[in-house]
């Protein structure tokens, strides 16, 4: 016999507080754990072992006080929308039943939306997992950033900033996912152009345990120095060739926007330098 509570589509229904007394007196609101399947596309991908153990101990002592949220996929079979940690902990403890709300959803995108909202509202998703959830809504279900912002009650700029995290080098994304660095650190790193410089600053953050503010200052300095690099002037190549032939050494010319610049001449020894000077001065 199916024993579930049906909820509407509103967010209030989704995050409604469960009355533990109901569970004490009746099996109403519970379903068999063996009839539940995890959601492969659920936003949360990382589960802290320490926090999982704490949850297991809590459920062992007091039971599952907060129902999971599921969607019925066929008669008597359900897929998790939100609450996979509670589901996993209950399975480890060998429980047969778990309190659950059944939410009526009409599409995979709506189920993803509910899962994302529930995790953001209740569990504080890791920033990378949050970004990946937004990316699925945008890429797979064609949500615009504005649509996502409205669904999860965040600003459009916040959605855009979170999705930019997915452009970080894998080593930095993994570090953010594991909470080795913070979202603030990641934002500072994103201000730098080029993955090599990004990773160099990342290692400094780790090694020196830099604060977000310190990371931002260093990132700003790297960006300013990068902006000072002047692209070769289109007329310098021929001039470099003339000087290289004349001096018989490597010559580099850099001209800035004001038409001033510098000439760099390579020498291999002090004797080589003196010979170059003689050629320049015609001595």
What DSSP designation does 48 have? Answer: -
Tell me the C-alpha distance between 172 and 151, whole Å: 28
User: Which range, of 38-52, 59-73, 128-142, averages the lowest pLDDT?
Assistant: 38-52
Q: Provide φ and ψ at 44, rounded to 5°.
A: -75, 120
Cα 43 to Cα 132: distance, rounded to the nearest angstrom:
7
- Supply the pTM of this predicted model: 0.52
Residues marked as catalytic: 84
pLDDT of residue 13: 37
pLDDT at residue 228 greater than cutoff 70: no
pLDDT, one tens digit per residue, over 65-110 is 888 888 888 778 888 887 888 898 999 999 999 998 887 776 677 7
Per-residue model confidence (pLDDT) at position 246: 81
pLDDT at position 161 is 92
Mean pLDDT of the chain: 78
Alpha helices by DSSP H, 122-253: 127-139, 145-152, 156-164, 170-177, 183-190, 195-208, 212-228, 236-247
Task: Supply angle C-alpha 19, 24, 26, rounded to 5.
Answer: 95
pLDDT tens for residues 150-195?
877 789 999 999 999 999 999 999 999 888 999 999 999 999 988 8
pLDDT score at 136: 80
Strand-pairing partners, residue 266, are none
Domain boundaries, the chain: 5-125, 126-167, 169-228, 236-281
Query: Which residues have CB under 8 Å from 98's CB, separation 6+?
Result: 30, 31, 33, 36, 64, 67, 68, 86, 87, 90
Q: Which fold has domain 5-125?
A: 3.90.1530
């Amino acid at each position: 016999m199916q024993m579930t509570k049906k909820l509407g589509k509103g967010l209030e229904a989704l995050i409604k507080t469960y009355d533990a007394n109901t569970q004490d007196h009746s099996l109403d609101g519970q379903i068999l754990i063996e009839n539940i399947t995890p959601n492969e596309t659920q936003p949360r991908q990382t589960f802290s072992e320490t926090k999982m153990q704490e949850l297991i101990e809590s459920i062992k002592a007091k039971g599952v006080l907060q129902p999971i949220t599921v969607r019925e996929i066929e008669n008597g079979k359900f897929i998790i929308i939100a609450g996979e940690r509670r589901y996993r902990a209950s399975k480890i403890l060998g429980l047969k039943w778990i309190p659950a709300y059944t939410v009526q959803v009409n599409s995979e995108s709506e189920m993803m939306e509910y899962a994302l909202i529930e995790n953001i509202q209740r569990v504080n998703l890791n920033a990378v997992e949050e970004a990946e959830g937004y990316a699925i809504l945008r890429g797979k279900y064609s949500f615009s950033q504005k649509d996502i912002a409205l669904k999860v009650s965040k600003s459009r700029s916040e959605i855009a900033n979170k999705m930019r995290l997915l452009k970080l080098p894998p080593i930095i994304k993994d570090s953010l996912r594991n909470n080795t660095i913070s979202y603030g650190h990641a934002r500072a790193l994103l201000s730098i152009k080029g993955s090599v410089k990004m990773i160099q600053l990342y290692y400094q953050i780790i090694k020196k345990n830099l604060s977000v503010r310190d990371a931002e200052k260093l990132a700003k300095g790297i960006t300013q120095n990068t902006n000072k690099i002047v692209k070769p002037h289109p007329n310098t190549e021929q001039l470099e060739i003339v000087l290289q032939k004349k001096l018989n050494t490597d010559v580099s010319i850099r001209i800035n926007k004001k038409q001033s610049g510098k000439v760099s001449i390579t020498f291999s020894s002090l004797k080589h330098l003196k010979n170059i000077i003689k050629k320049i001065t015609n001595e």
